[in-house]
């Protein structure tokens, strides 16, 4: 094996270790579900302050500190007050009055929305179905487009990216809401981008160089697409990084999910997608045209 092959298999070992750590993190910390899925009361208010949600949350005390979660809105000066389902303190006017008293700021009630547990469960199920439908659609496409070993390698890369992203969200304590689900759907699509590019290039190399080993062919395919991968990932991460830094708390879950998904997707295209197909026994013979035996005419 050449040096690039050794790097790829060393990265495969590291990826498997990260997957194990991510599963342990998900088991230990759990995935926190937002009010979108658990149900509760969302109170939208307006108050003029330059403090962050974390700073304002630290000023709360008593029952309000135990039940209420402050979240910055999409516009400056707008805030969301989240109360869990069945909370003893649920009257919007009472909550706003207590909040104004404890923060020492004028707080204006804009509107209040009650999300029932059944609605939250329905949103949770629909989000899961969306992820499942996207994954199944990708599996069908890969099975039709590539040889089944390359398709399974791309799917393994997809599972790797999803588990690592969820593990990071569990460690950071990011709550799963509809924005995070949208980010996960984007990750599913993006994580296969580089894998498909490498698989397509590898298919061409296997057809053109039938006498080369599978390791040499894969190294050539990875090297030929590596600069493109770095440029694509770099420009995408730059954009997502700006969103992560400047998008505020309202878009934090979405942007951190996308950022982690792009990083893991770029990494797994080299360490997972390019090695699993070799372990499954892919060889140049699988892409050679069949030889037809023609009997000699008398």
Query: What local confidence, expressed as pLDDT, does residue 119 receive?
Result: 53
266: confidence class by pLDDT, cuts 50, 70, 90: confident
Higher pLDDT, 76 or 124: 76
Query: What local confidence, expressed as pLDDT, does residue 296 receive?
Result: 45
DSSP E strands in 73-194: the ranges are 78-84, 108-115
Same domain, 198 and 174: yes
Q: Residue 19: is its pLDDT beyond 90?
A: yes
- Please tell me whether residue 212 adopts helix, strand or coil conformation: coil
Q: Is 150 exposed, middle or buried, given 0-12, 13-18 or 19+ CB atoms closer than 10 A?
A: buried
Percent of the chain surpassing pLDDT 90: 10
Partner residues linked to 112 by β-bridges: 43
297: confidence class by pLDDT, cuts 50, 70, 90: very low
In a domain, 295, yes or no: no
Query: What local confidence, expressed as pLDDT, does residue 21 receive?
Result: 95
User: Looking at 73-82, 222-231, 266-275, which range is the least confident one?
Assistant: 73-82
Same domain, 267 and 189: yes
What's 132's domain CATH number? 1.20.1640.10
Buried b (16+ CB within 10 A) or exposed e, 115-132: beeeebeebbeebeeebe
Of 56, 90, 115, the position where a domain reaches its end is 115
Same domain, 83 and 208: no
108-115/69-72 β-pairing = unpaired
- Please count the CA atoms within 13 angstroms of the CA of 65 that sit on its side-chain side: 12
Query: What local confidence, expressed as pLDDT, does residue 168 receive?
Result: 92
- Give me the number of domains the chain comprises: 2
Q: Is 250 exposed, middle or buried, given 0-12, 13-18 or 19+ CB atoms closer than 10 A?
A: middle
In a domain, 293, yes or no: no
Same domain, 218 and 250: yes
User: pLDDT tens digits for 129-171?
Assistant: 776 777 677 767 776 777 778 778 888 888 898 899 999 999 9
Query: What local confidence, expressed as pLDDT, does residue 18 receive?
Result: 93
What's 77's domain CATH number? 3.30.70.3400
Range of the domain at 7: 3-33+120-286
In a domain, 297, yes or no: no
Residue reference for tokens 């999803």: 162
Query: What local confidence, expressed as pLDDT, does residue 112 receive?
Result: 82
Q: Residue 9: is its pLDDT beyond 80?
A: yes
Of 115, 132, 153, the position where a domain reaches its end is 115
Higher pLDDT, 58 or 136: 58
């Amino acid at each position: 094996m050449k040096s690039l092959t050794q790097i790829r298999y060393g990265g495969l070992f590291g990826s498997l270790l990260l997957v194990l750590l991510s599963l342990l993190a998900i088991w230990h910390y759990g995935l926190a579900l937002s009010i979108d899925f658990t149900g509760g009361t969302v109170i939208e208010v307006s108050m003029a302050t330059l403090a962050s949600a974390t700073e304002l949350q630290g000023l709360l005390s008593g029952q309000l500190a135990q039940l209420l979660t402050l979240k910055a809105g999409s516009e400056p000066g707008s805030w969301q007050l989240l109360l869990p389902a069945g909370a003893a303190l649920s009257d919007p006017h009472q909550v706003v009055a207590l909040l104004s008293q404890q923060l020492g700021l004028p707080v204006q009630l804009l509107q209040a929305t009650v999300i029932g547990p059944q609605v939250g469960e329905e949103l949770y199920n629909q989000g899961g179905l969306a992820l499942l439908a996207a994954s199944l659609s990708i599996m069908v496409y890969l099975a039709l487009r590539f040889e089944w070993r390359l398709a399974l390698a791309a799917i393994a890369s997809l599972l790797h990216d999803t588990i690592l992203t969820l593990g990071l969200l569990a460690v950071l304590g990011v709550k799963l809401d509809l924005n995070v689900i949208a980010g996960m759907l984007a990750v599913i699509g993006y994580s296969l981008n580089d894998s498909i590019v490498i698989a397509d290039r590898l298919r061409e190399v296997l057809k053109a160089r039938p006498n080369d080993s599978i390791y040499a062919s894969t190294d050539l395919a990875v090297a030929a697409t590596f600069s493109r991968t770095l440029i694509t990932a770099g420009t995408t991460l730059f954009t997502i990084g700006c969103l992560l830094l400047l998008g505020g708390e309202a878009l934090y879950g979405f942007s951190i999910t996308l950022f982690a998904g792009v990083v893991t997707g770029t990494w797994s295209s080299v360490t997972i997608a390019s090695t699993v197909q070799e372990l499954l026994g892919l060889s140049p013979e699988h892409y050679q045209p069949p030889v037809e035996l023609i009997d000699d005419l008398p």
